[in-house]
Amino acid sequence: MFRLRSFAITLALGSATWASAQSTGYQPVDKNKPANLLLFLQAKEVRMDMPQVFGFVLVNISDHVVLIPPNPNVECTDLSRGSLWLRLNFTPFTHEVPRLGSGCVADYGIGLIRSPSVLDRVKAWKVLHPGESLSFDIPKNFEEQRAGTYQFWVEYQPPHISTDDQATLRQAGIDFPHDALTSAHITFVKKH
């Protein structure tokens, strides 16, 4: 009798989850699934061997909808929206020491203001269906005066979501950025 009751409860909960997914367009989220987003870096407006603008692209590679804050901060930490960081590894042609680089264009503090519930916050997030992407362009933030090899890549830090809020989102069938990502490296050579 107990097994039959447990089976009935499991069936009812599964049906409720399926009905919720059908009505909202979201799919139940498995926290053990692999990454749901892929990150690309694009070099744009290449002049004199160097890009003048960089494009960042986040692509939904899952089989379900993923919600993402629409404007991750570029080059600065923003716990609520996530952050994109352009990285540079410069190797000069002379015998100088190679250098790494990145930067921040603004500072953000963490306030004590109580924020809305996670379910209210995600209402403003961008809905990415499978295969859809979110793109950002920013001008370069470095000077390329010296000859050498410039290697670029971008890193993405997802928004900080507490463990309890993550559980709330998963129970509601909402997937979200949860993994730090790194793009492939692209290399440019400045000859002079």
If one compares 172 and 100, the residue with the highest pLDDT of the two is 172
Share of the chain above pLDDT 90, in %: 41
User: Out of 9-18, 120-129, 156-165, which region has the weakest mean confidence (pLDDT)?
Assistant: 9-18
Cα of first residue to Cα of last residue in the chain, in angstroms, is 82
CA separation for the pair 170, 29 (Å, rounded): 5
In the prediction, which pLDDT does 177 show?
93
User: Out of 26-35, 38-47, 54-63, 153-162, which region has the weakest mean confidence (pLDDT)?
Assistant: 26-35
Structure tokens at 164: 């309890």
The pLDDT of 97-104, averaged and rounded, is 57
CA separation for the pair 41, 51 (Å, rounded): 12
Q: Please give the model's pTM, rounded to 2 decimal places.
A: 0.71
If one compares 52 and 139, the residue with the highest pLDDT of the two is 52
